[in-house]
Amino acid sequence: MKKTPVFLDSLVTNMLRLRAICPFSWRVFQFRPISCEPLIIQMNKCTDEEQIFDFIERNKAILSEKQVGCAFDMLWKLQKQKTSLLKNVEYVRDHPQFLTLHNLATNKFKLMNDDTLVNVLYVTQQFAGEAHDPLVEALVTEAWRRLERFDIKLLSEFSSCLADQRLYFSPLMGKIADIVHRNLETTQDLSSLSVLMVNISSLISRHFQQQLVNKTELLFDTIDSSEVNVAKSIAKFLRNVRYRYQPLLERCNNVFLSNVDHLDLDSISKILSVYK
């Protein structure tokens, strides 16, 4: 009787083993409790706060600093989509899983990239219940450490976070004013510059004020005629520094007038308040 070659015996044995193992492996794969879908994609599919909080509770042990930042961003986007009557900032702030998210950010903020860091600071301030939130203080300190590498857009966002804390006369705002001054010649983003102008207006010299006005005139034609917020910031800056520069004010007025049909009462009220 002809003997089966040894390698065929080995092959048959391995196939039988594989056949025995595969059904088990397939069952395990089919019923894995954790989705293979990237966590940020899962989070972006959430449609309310409860879904986000449930997501945080299930994944808190594995969330990265980027995913923590995304969770903060999602919670604030949901608030912005609501009317004032439906906003539930206190409910979100007091939720146990928001505290979990807060603690995760405290542990991971040094790993965050610059954009995530500033965005988490902004959102944390919107939800903050304490006058001195330790996370806010830690984020501000870390942002100060990175300040020189911020681009103008991020610098303007960070300056607004400081303005929300009424830190107009702080050394940190002074440092921001210095960075704006040093980079003014190469600045091309009037939207970000106009926000910075308002936030640093309490600290700058008359000469620097004039430089900012001159730069604004140069860049004004680069903005779209619908940029009401930019025009409002420029008008507010001129009011803050008590400089009635009529040519620039008239250009701002033209933006307001060309958009008046699209403005709600709240927006019109805010524009009028600039002229008081």
> Per residue in 9-22, pLDDT tens?
554 455 445 455 44
Asked if residue 215 belongs to a domain, the reply is yes
Distance (Å, rounded) from C-alpha 237 to C-alpha 163? 14
Asked if residue 99 belongs to a domain, the reply is yes
Please tell me whether residues 123 and 183 are part of one structural domain.
Answer: no
Please tell me whether residues 54 and 105 are part of one structural domain.
Answer: yes
- Whether 251 shows a pLDDT value over 60: the answer reads yes
pLDDT for 181-232, tens place per residue?
999 999 999 999 999 999 999 999 999 999 999 999 999 999 998 899 999 9
Asked if residue 157 belongs to a domain, the reply is no
- What pLDDT score does 68 carry? 97
For the four alpha carbons of 44, 46, 47 and 48, in that order, the dihedral sign comes to negative
Boundary of a domain, candidates 121, 149, 177: 149
- What pLDDT score does 117 carry? 98
In whole numbers, what is the pLDDT of the chain averaged over residues?
A: 88
Boundary of a domain, candidates 86, 118, 149: 149
Please tell me whether residues 179 and 262 are part of one structural domain.
Answer: yes
Look at 274 and 3; give whichever has higher pLDDT. Answer: 274
| Neighbouring residues of 212: CB distance < 8 A, sequence distance ≥ 6 | 184, 193, 197, 204, 237
- What pLDDT score does 21 carry? 46
Asked if residue 130 belongs to a domain, the reply is yes
- Cβ distance 244 to 252 under 8 Å? no
Residue 224: what are its φ and ψ, rounded to 5°? -75, 150
Please tell me whether residues 215 and 272 are part of one structural domain.
Answer: yes
- What pLDDT score does 11 carry? 46
Number of domains in the chain: 2
Looking at residue 200, its amino acid is: I
Q: How much of the chain, in percent, has pLDDT values that exceed 70?
A: 85
- What pLDDT score does 37 carry? 65
- What pLDDT score does 9 carry? 54
Boundary of a domain, candidates 94, 119, 149: 149
Asked if residue 31 belongs to a domain, the reply is no
Asked if residue 200 belongs to a domain, the reply is yes
Please tell me whether residues 106 and 143 are part of one structural domain.
Answer: yes
Please tell me whether residues 117 and 65 are part of one structural domain.
Answer: yes
Please tell me whether residues 252 and 215 are part of one structural domain.
Answer: yes
- What pLDDT score does 253 carry? 93
118: containing domain: 37-149
13-22, 45-54, 126-135: least confidently modelled range: 13-22
- What pLDDT score does 190 carry? 98
Distance (Å, rounded) from C-alpha 189 to C-alpha 109? 28
Look at 114 and 37; give whichever has higher pLDDT. Answer: 114
Q: What is the H or E stretch that residue 125 is in?
A: helix 114-127
Q: What is the H or E stretch that residue 272 is in?
A: helix 265-274
- What pLDDT score does 199 carry? 98
pLDDT for 162-171, tens place per residue?
999 999 999 9
Please tell me whether residues 140 and 199 are part of one structural domain.
Answer: no
Please tell me whether residues 104 and 201 are part of one structural domain.
Answer: no
Confidence of residue 33 (pLDDT cuts 50, 70, 90): very low
66-80, 127-141, 235-249: least confidently modelled range: 127-141
Please tell me whether residues 214 and 120 are part of one structural domain.
Answer: no
Asked if residue 54 belongs to a domain, the reply is yes
Distances (CA, A) of 4 to 9, 11, 77, 130, 167: 7, 11, 69, 80, 86
Asked if residue 194 belongs to a domain, the reply is yes
Distances (CA, A) of 75 to 98, 258, 264: 9, 34, 25
Q: How much of the chain, in percent, has pLDDT values that exceed 90?
A: 74
Stated pTM of the model: 0.83
- What pLDDT score does 274 carry? 86
Please tell me whether residues 208 and 176 are part of one structural domain.
Answer: yes
Please tell me whether residues 121 and 179 are part of one structural domain.
Answer: no
